[in-house]
Amino acid sequence: MLKYMTSKQFCVILNFMENKIKIGIIGLGTVGSGVFKTLQNFKNIEIVKIAVRNKNKKRNIENLDESIITDNPYEVVNDPDIQIVAELVGGIEPAYNLIKTAIKNGKHIVTANKELLAKHGEELFNFAEEHNKVVLYEAAIAGGIPLIMPIKTILAGNKINKIKAILNGTTNYILTKMDIQGASYAEVLKESQELGYAEADPTGDVEGFDAAYKITTLATIAFGKRIKIDKVYREGITKISPDDMKAANEMGYKIKLIASAELNDDGRADVRVHPMLVPKSKSLAHIDYVTNAVSLTGHPVGDVTLSGPGAGEFPTASSVVGDILAIASELGRTDYLLPMMRCRHCENAVMMDVSETENKYYISITAQNSKGVIGRIGKACEDNNISLASIVQKEVAGDNAAKITVITELSKEKDMQKVIEIFNNDSAITKVNSLIRVQV
């Protein structure tokens, strides 16, 4: 085949084969370490510089040349030899400014920074396009699960209109352990922190921030319209109780923190993160511990579910390195790299407020064990356009209190909130313990 190439084409390929692609890494934590170790297997890649917070920290990494370590990340983004920068520190600053500086200096970007993309993705992608550079971010959504590239390539011929996903391993681990052990949220959280699954400050995970960042970017890619993070409804798992877990199981459900996104018939985007009762007949009900999964619905493909490790050293490194190699394979071959992977969004999605959404609901109530209480519950629902699928009074505590569980038919969120307000002001109802949406 070489005799059909021009001499210029042959020289380009020969140069690519002989010259190593020079990489800079910002961050050598769990993911950065995995990326470094994995890249050692590729002879055409040279890691030129690595930026860390603490240059003197002992690292148990074989073949780590201490001379390439710096505690100044601007040495990475300003190095004229570096062609690709992998940003693996997370957060907004200094990551935002570092990435912009690297792009301005002619470098392509690979990042795992879900918060930065959710909050400033539009600016970064536009800035990269202005400078004809690529920003890839496969690792920012679901660790080692390939999502972005399949959606932009293999599934590009589909109109995806629905996503249901488990995108946070920490919360999924906690909910799984609560389900299996019958333990409280507080007990399992403590255990998760001791095992290293949950941070000392778990707020980002347990209050749904992490999953909200991820579904924001994933829905933007899948729907082809920008989703604004400040319009994404978010609710965490801290109020889930062992009683909720037990009741859900008895009714044929599992409780999961679900990140969902749907394009409605009128074109509005309904994007949110909150706990849900997931029917045991659904695949997401059986995604346990730290595993992540994403179910996509589109035409013509139908339903597709991808699952795998959503975090960790090597699963996340797998996605980062895949992006690095995708860019490396194009360098020197074209002036406009990876056109299918670039941002092509030209409009913001019209977002649907959660109050306008329709859901089924699970409600757990503690009430007085007296005549007419169930009737009052039913009347409040009837007066607010809510039909009941079931209502069960299962047990009576020693203090003459009854535990009542309600499952509704499809109802408007705003109507359900009116009912909850009525319950909270009803002297016969001691407490509304839980209100959890049910996956249809």
Evaluate if residue 7 carries a pLDDT over 80. Answer: no
Residues 106-152: tens digit of each pLDDT: 999 999 999 999 999 999 999 999 999 999 999 999 999 999 999 99
pLDDT (0 to 100) of residue 3 = 45
- Reply yes or no on whether the pLDDT at 17 is more than 60: no
Q: What local confidence, expressed as pLDDT, does residue 346 receive?
A: 80
Give yes or no for residue 437 having a pLDDT over 70.
yes
Phi, psi of 204 (to 5 degrees): -55, -35
User: If pLDDT is split at 50, 70 and 90, which confidence band does 197 have?
Assistant: confident
pTM over 0.85: yes
Cβ atoms of residues 77 and 102 within 8 Å:
yes
Residue 217: predicted pLDDT: 97
> Virtual CA dihedral for 232, 267, 134, 138, nearest 10 degrees?
60
Q: What is the pLDDT of residue 195?
A: 85
Of 22, 100, 164, 214, the catalytic one is 214
| E strands, 120-226, in order | 135-136, 159-166
Q: Strands of 2-144 (E only): list them.
A: 21-26, 45-51, 69-70, 84-87, 108-111, 135-136
**Mean pLDDT score across all residues of the chain:** 93
- Compute the distance between CA of residue 361 and CA of residue 179 in angstroms, rounded to an integer: 20
Q: Note the pLDDT tens digit of each residue in 225-267.
A: 999 999 999 999 999 999 999 999 999 999 999 999 999 989 9
| Distance in angstroms (rounded) separating the CA atoms of residues 40 and 347 | 41
* pLDDT at residue number 224: 93
For residue 345, the model assigns a pLDDT of 80
Note the CATH architecture for domain 148-309. 2-Layer Sandwich (3.30)
As a whole number, mean pLDDT of residues 56-67 equals 89
pLDDT for 9 beyond 80: no
Task: Tell me whether residue 133 is one of the annotated catalytic residues.
Answer: no
pLDDT score recorded for residue 421:
97
Q: What is the pLDDT of residue 312?
A: 87
Q: What value does the mean pLDDT take over residues 29-45?
A: 95
Task: Name the residue with higher pLDDT: 178 or 63.
Answer: 178
Tell me what percent of the residues of the chain surpass a pLDDT of 90. 86
Highest-pLDDT range among 188-202, 241-255, 393-407 = 241-255
As a whole number of angstroms, the distance between CA 324 and CA 111 comes to: 10
User: Given this model, what pLDDT does residue 2 score?
Assistant: 43
CATH number, domain 2-143+314-341: 3.40.50.720
Taking alpha carbons only, the member of 121, 154, 178 closest to residue 348 is 121
CB 230 within 8 A of CB 255: no
- Specify the CATH class of 357-438 in words: alpha beta
Q: Residue 1: its pLDDT value, please?
A: 41
> What does the domain layout of the chain look like in residue ranges?
2-143+314-341, 148-309, 357-438
Long-range contacts made by residues 312-316, C-beta under 8 angstroms, separation at least 24? 312/30, 312/34, 312/143, 312/144, 313/30, 313/31, 313/33, 313/34, 314/34, 314/37, 314/38, 314/144, 315/143, 315/144, 316/30, 316/31, 316/34, 316/112, 316/139, 316/143, 316/144
- The three state secondary structure string of 202-262 is CHHHHCCHHHHHHHHHHHHHHHCCECCHHHCEECCCCCCCHHHHHHHHHCCEEEEEEEEEE
Task: Specify the pLDDT at position 18.
Answer: 58
Tell me the pLDDT band of 11, cut-offs 50, 70 and 90.
low
Strands 269-279 and 253-263: antiparallel
Q: Do the Cβ atoms of 245 and 182 come closer than 8 Å?
A: yes
Residue 367 φ/ψ, nearest 5 degrees? -140, 170
Model confidence band, residue 310 (pLDDT cutoffs 50, 70, 90): confident
